[in-house]
């Protein structure tokens, strides 16, 4: 039997599930900014070559002067006009397209792409007001919760509000829907076994961990005020970067005098790079190599396109002071570890799961490969400097073998361990 051919209406509906009208304008804005970046890079290379030949410098070390400078300014002007023209055309066309509210069910593919884009460029998207920037939301059953409307929140929870709140925080370049992997979801499994209410955080993972931690603390404070029943217990599970965001939120909440940290009972880390991830350190190594010669130095800008969130993973930044200089300026993280030591929060039961692709522990697994993203030592909080070590009790550590970073989300061994920790007499 031949498949039914799609009608124009069917194709339009399918397209809107993957692409929103606002995406077109946001993508045009991003492309225009990228074009300007390429022009700047080309001019910088040009100036570098001139200096190497002993020719006079231009207006600035990175900008040409005279007729050459006029050419570059003309190119920038044309690019800006093209961008503005595209904005005008889209502004006229967008009202003719369907309202995205008529197609609220966003496709998983679209949401996954947005999550990756935000992980890589999220800080820039937010800084330029790009519509593709992902705002932070607390979500339940795939729906964003109305924190400032108690009646609406009560309706959204549908009577499932429990005194025990379980919050799950995803990692870099991911979103809340990706906690479901291979048919398993840690939040759903624990909710059924413990009677807790699972909420999932969706956030822009390209922002600084400390910024996301501060925003999460503020949202949890609003949530506590609007929760339909008195909250007695909060448990947080963070995967990868999500664990850093959780630690940052606790510290930010305590510094701000928020109430919600008083109800926090457990923090569980799944493959969290407490002391950094070698892949981001390798990325910094590329920056150094590109900057080794005058001719390749301008191209080091391409390597610096990594977001603030990715740079935080180099050493495991949690606090604003980890990435901001004493003078109040932001510095690009280098090989030097400038973090201020931040112990695990007192009065909270902290647990960690570390994974390794290997069948047993060894130098390679402990310090380099680990689960393919995070070394064992980093996930376990171990560090050569005693003041930086995170002290987990032996019974609060678990190593799973022949398991990758994302497999932590679906591992039966991890699911069993989570249930054991959160249902133990000490946790109740």
157-170 mean pLDDT: 93
The string of DSSP codes covering 157-203 is HTT---SEEEEEE--TT--GGGGEETTEEHHHHHHHHH--EEEEEE-
Beta bridge partners of 19: none
| Distance (Å) of CA 192 to CA 132, 162, 365 | 35, 12, 35
Q: Look at residues 245, 97, 107 and name the one whose alpha carbon lies nearest to residue 169.
A: 245
- Tens-place pLDDT, residues 240-252: 999 999 999 999 9
For the CA atoms of the chain, what is the radius of gyration? 24
Tokens, residue 341: 């030591």
Q: Tell me which range, 9-13, 254-258, 312-316, is most confidently predicted by mean pLDDT.
A: 254-258
* Model pLDDT, residue 6: 55
> Is 404 within 8 Å of 371 (Cβ atoms)?
yes
Residue 332 has pLDDT above 70, yes or no: no
Tokens, residue 64: 């040409």
CA atoms of 148 and 227, how far apart (whole Å): 10
Percent with pLDDT over 90 in the chain: 46
Residue 228 has pLDDT above 80, yes or no: yes
Average model confidence (pLDDT) across the chain? 77
Tokens, residue 66: 């005279």
Query: How does DSSP classify residue 316?
Result: T
List b or e across 162-175, with b for residues whose CB sees 16 or more CB atoms inside 10 angstroms. bebbbbbbbbbbbb
88-105 mean pLDDT: 47
* Model pLDDT, residue 239: 97
Tokens, residue 215: 């925003």
- Tens-place pLDDT, residues 20-65: 555 555 555 555 555 444 445 444 544 444 454 454 555 555 555 5
Tokens, residue 249: 């939120």
Q: How confident is the model at residue 298 (pLDDT cuts 50, 70, 90)?
A: very low
The pTM (predicted TM-score) of the whole model is 0.76
153-179 mean pLDDT: 92
Domain 108-428 part of CATH 3.40.50.1820: yes
> Is 169 within 8 Å of 270 (Cβ atoms)?
no
195-224 mean pLDDT: 97
* Model pLDDT, residue 370: 83
Kindly list the domain boundaries of the chain, sorted by start residue. 8-105, 108-428
Q: Pick the range with the lowest mean pLDDT from 93-102, 139-148, 330-339.
A: 93-102
> Is 86 within 8 Å of 28 (Cβ atoms)?
yes
Beta bridge partners of 198: 166
| More confident call, 163 vs 368 | 163
* Model pLDDT, residue 75: 42
The number of angstroms, rounded, from the C-alpha of 304 to the middle of its chain's C-alpha atoms is 17
Q: Look at residues 426, 421, 424, 408 and name the one whose alpha carbon lies nearest to residue 186.
A: 408
- Tens-place pLDDT, residues 277-295: 876 554 444 444 444 445 4
CA atoms of 26 and 133, how far apart (whole Å): 9
């Amino acid at each position: 039997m031949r498949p039914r051919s799609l009608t124009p209406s069917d194709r339009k509906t399918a397209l809107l599930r993957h692409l929103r009208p606002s995406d077109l304008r946001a993508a045009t804005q991003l492309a225009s900014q990228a074009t300007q970046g390429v022009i700047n890079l080309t001019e910088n290379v040009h100036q570098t070559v001139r200096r190497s030949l002993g020719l006079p410098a231009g207006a600035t070390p990175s900008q040409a002067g005279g007729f050459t400078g006029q050419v570059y300014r003309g190119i920038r002007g044309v690019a800006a006009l093209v961008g503005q023209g595209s904005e005008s055309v889209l502004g006229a066309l967008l009202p003719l397209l369907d309202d995205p509210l008529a197609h609220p069910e966003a496709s998983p593919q679209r949401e996954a792409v947005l999550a990756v884009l935000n992980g890589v460029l999220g800080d820039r998207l937010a800084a330029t007001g790009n519509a593709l920037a992902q705002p932070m939301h607390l979500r339940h059953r795939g729906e964003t919760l109305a924190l400032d409307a108690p009646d609406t929140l009560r309706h959204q929870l549908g009577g499932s509000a429990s005194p025990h709140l379980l919050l799950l925080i995803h990692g870099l370049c991911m979103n809340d829907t990706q906690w479901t992997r291979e048919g398993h979801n840690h939040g759903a499994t624990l909710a059924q076994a413990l009677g807790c209410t699972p909420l999932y955080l969706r956030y822009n993972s390209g922002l600084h961990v400390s910024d996301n931690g501060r925003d999460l603390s503020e949202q949890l404070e609003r949530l506590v005020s609007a929760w339909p029943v008195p909250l007695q217990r909060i448990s947080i599970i963070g995967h990868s970067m999500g664990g850093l965001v959780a630690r940052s939120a606790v510290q930010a909440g305590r510094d701000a005098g928020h109430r919600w940290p008083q109800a926090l009972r457990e923090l569980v880390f799944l493959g969290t790079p407490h002391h950094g991830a070698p892949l981001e350190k390798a990325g910094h190594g590329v920056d150094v190599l590109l900057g080794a010669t005058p001719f390749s130095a301008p191209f080091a800008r391409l390597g610096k396109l990594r977001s603030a969130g990715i740079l935080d993973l180099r050493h495991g930044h949690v606090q604003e002071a980890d990435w901001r200089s004493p003078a109040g300026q932001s510095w690009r993280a280098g090989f030097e570890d400038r973090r201020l030591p931040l112990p695990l929060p007192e009065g909270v039961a902290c647990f960690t799961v570390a994974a390794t692709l290997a069948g047993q522990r060894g130098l390679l697994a402990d310090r380099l490969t680990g689960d393919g993203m995070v070394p064992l030592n980093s996930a376990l909080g171990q560090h050569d400097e005693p003041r930086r070590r995170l002290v987990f009790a032996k019974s609060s550590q678990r190593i799973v073998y022949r398991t990758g970073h994302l497999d932590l989300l679906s591992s039966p061994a991890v699911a069993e361990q989570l249930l054991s920790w959160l249902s133990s007499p000490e946790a109740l």
